[in-house]
Amino acid sequence: MSAPTTRAKGPDMRVNVAGVELRSPVIAASGTFGYGVEFEDIISIDRIGAFVTKGLSREPMAGNPTPRIIETPAGMINAIGLQNMGVKAFIAEKLPKILKIKGAVIIANVFGFTIEDCIEVIHALNDAPGIAMYELNASCPNTSHGGMVFGTNHELLFDLASRCRAVSKRPLMVKLSPNVTSIGLMARVAADAGADAVSLVNTFLALAIDVETRRPRIANVTGGLSGPAIKPIAVRMVNEVSRAVRIPIVGMGGIVRAEDAVEFMLAGATAVQVGTASYADPRAVENIATDLRKWCASHDIAHVSELTGAAIL
């Protein structure tokens, strides 16, 4: 009689964010992964945890004038201005295609100029099939109203998050602005308002000036800084938030390799998002998910969630 075959099982990479089980903690970040379908032929979407759509608004938005993206040392500044096709077109044109992608877990990013706008977007998405969770963008630095204004005023943030939570039929993750004095306080406001999870960080308000023309290098004048340049600040903020709230934290800011994801998880994140790295390498999210599994295997981590909050600080 032959001995029973034992198949070496790899580390368990599943994590649970607000009741949504993800097969990996590595998620593609909003605004850097289109509506997901654009990446269907580039990566295996069933090897990443989930992807977040570009921010969806009530009406289509053309975004800001160009130039609206520049490279900086170890990062980039963008002021896209939330260009998007609008929630109705997303549901009619993109969602049916996304739903055909094997293993796609969709997080819809919601944006509005007013609380009523956000509520309308959520109402529209509530009736659409196949979306796992909403990420409420309370933190875009590139619009003159809404966006970051919500995320930097604790009364407005409470109002926005609680009213959106009340109408949301799916878990609601509130995306926090790093452009505040105390991100722990803002996370607590979001949690008190009923948020099921928080994600952070969005981009840091930034300015770059062309020294020859003395003009801003971004047409919008200011933009949002992302990429490796912001990572240590983002990791500190995730840790601060982990001490302030008990809801799950999704951390991001400058993740380009598996070890960066580990660092965010040790600081307190349950899952992570990868944004700017996809501009340098469209396969970055999948590669980081694969490498994170290998990292766990080589460090005797049986379950990736063991890493969450395990930093010795």
Ligand X SMILES: Cc1cc2nc3c(=O)[nH]c(=O)nc-3n(C[C@H](O)[C@H](O)[C@H](O)COP(=O)(O)O)c2cc1C
Q: How far apart are CA 297 and CA 165, in angstroms?
A: 38
The DSSP 8-state label assigned to residue 209 in this structure reads B
Does residue 140 have an active-site annotation?
yes
The DSSP 8-state label assigned to residue 133 in this structure reads E
Q: What residues contact residue 92 under an 8 Å CB cut-off, 6+ apart?
A: none
Contacts (CB under 6 A) with ligand X, residues 215-234: 226-227, 230
Comparing CB distances to ligand X, the nearer of 78 and 290 is 78
Based on the shown chain and the rule CB under 6 A, indicate whether residue 242 belongs to the binding site for ligand X. no
Region from 29-37, 41-49, 281-289, 305-313 binding ligand X, contact rule CB under 6 A: 29-37
Residues in the chain: 313
Comparing CB distances to ligand X, the nearer of 30 and 290 is 30
Region from 76-84, 152-160, 213-221, 261-269 binding ligand X, contact rule CB under 6 A: 76-84
Residue 104 half-sphere exposure toward CB, CA atoms < 13 A: 27
> Buried (b) or exposed (e) across 4-41, using 16+ Cβ within 10 A?
eeeeeeebebebebbebebbbbbbbbbbbbebbbebbe
Helix axes 258-267 and 284-298, enclosed angle (nearest 10): 70
Instruction: State which of residues 24, 57, 64, 78 lies at the interface with ligand X (CB under 6 A).
Output: 78
277 touches 256 (CB < 8 A): yes
Based on the shown chain and the rule CB under 6 A, indicate whether residue 253 belongs to the binding site for ligand X. yes
Based on the shown chain and the rule CB under 6 A, indicate whether residue 178 belongs to the binding site for ligand X. no
Comparing CB distances to ligand X, the nearer of 36 and 275 is 275
Instruction: State which of residues 18, 20, 29, 133 lies at the interface with ligand X (CB under 6 A).
Output: 29
Based on the shown chain and the rule CB under 6 A, indicate whether residue 25 belongs to the binding site for ligand X. no
The DSSP 8-state label assigned to residue 268 in this structure reads T
Comparing CB distances to ligand X, the nearer of 80 and 87 is 80
Q: Catalogue the active-site residues.
A: 140
Contacts with ligand X by CB under 6 A lie at 29-32, 54-55, 78, 80, 82, 109, 137, 140, 175, 202-203, 226-227, 230, 252-255, 274-277
